[in-house]
Structure 1
């Protein structure tokens, strides 16, 4: 039985077009004109190297699947491959395998996208192996020519099996995954770790049902809520939003775009009070009027 906790990956050949040292040593000295041409060649190769390196890293696996369990899974990552990806010009590939990054798993006919939740060193595999837990995000089809993801959708219908290869998700993959489908949407930021892929929210789908912003203290729940409401007001300036703010957190955020009511300026009509509220106004605690 193979130990899936200890994985070895085939070394990658250099992508910079380097030659065999023995062949270079036996080459005759070029002429001065040839030296000028030779001096220009490395510069051209260096200019082309970032895209070639990104393509090479995106097409090479960084780990394998160890265990499948419902909406999550456990994987093994190769530390040497992660270090190679860290020097990539593509920011998504450079963060491959880190907590919060997105990876893709090959399944029959497409790709499965997942997010890295946590990671730890694999004691059985030594220092060169990392075990991580991931959460599945969705799946998409594979372009036959480029191998990229298209037609992304939430949910999982085809689960991988233990031993399936894991690849880094590139900027091109994330651009396809987070592309708008034409519905009305608001932009609330950019998709981490990119700087040019918009992060949008479909307004009708969000407001058509109950939703919540969850997180621990200090993670930005109030800031996110204010940002979403500002974007909705900008998209629909004739709309009306009523916010109940018992702690006064949002008064500064909407002072110039909204009307703020508090105990100093809120006036309610007499007929709006019910019987119990009338009693609280006219009766004392002793029961006498």
Structure 2
């Protein structure tokens, strides 16, 4: 009982802030709840919301396509950039701490509105990026207003904030025994072969950890897409990521029951992706204490 008493603040928070809202949203997904009406007007509609999502909602499939495109491109690029910078920062040199802090700084800003506004100022038609291109005689594009480039600006913003996984990769690199590199060097292995046959296998648990976290984080992106598109997901739905669609249905169209159904589909999809990662991880993730390698 003493243990539960000490755990009670966390248990109360879990039930009130997380568990109850999640379960209540599941109930709402089978209703026509619209926020504005009283609870007496609420009607049970069964699976009508889910049927509408998969059969008659054209925005749903566009949103899925945009979200998958964003995730499949931005997440691998972000992990590649974070690993590459971590390899550069793993060497002990004068002022290395300053460089590590500088590379991590963008991640401290997170998905803030201020950072998204800065991105708008950089990539709009008269932004600083086009001003830079004009120095070389290159005619820029209205990047955030062009359907072909708007999503790309969101990807660049996501990749630029690689500081979080970079720090985790850097910690993993510190745990790789130097004896392995010395043995590989004695055997005549080049730096490239050492990277693929020593560094990557030893880092595979860290890669797996970052992959799962960044996948979940990538699918949950919202603030930058909302600010850059002024909440519309435009131009022409090119930045209509899934979380933005959920927000629009719930708080713009006041279809909270429909939005709850979208959210549960989202939850199940991310859960299935995570299951795939864990089920396939045993084929490429190698756990070792370093001493027996």
Bin the TM-score by the shorter chain. under 0.3
The structure showing larger relative contact order (alpha-carbon pairs under 8 Å, at least 6 residues apart) is 2
Structure of larger gyration radius: 1
* TM-score using structure 2 length: 0.23
Question: Which structure: greater strand fraction?
Answer: 1
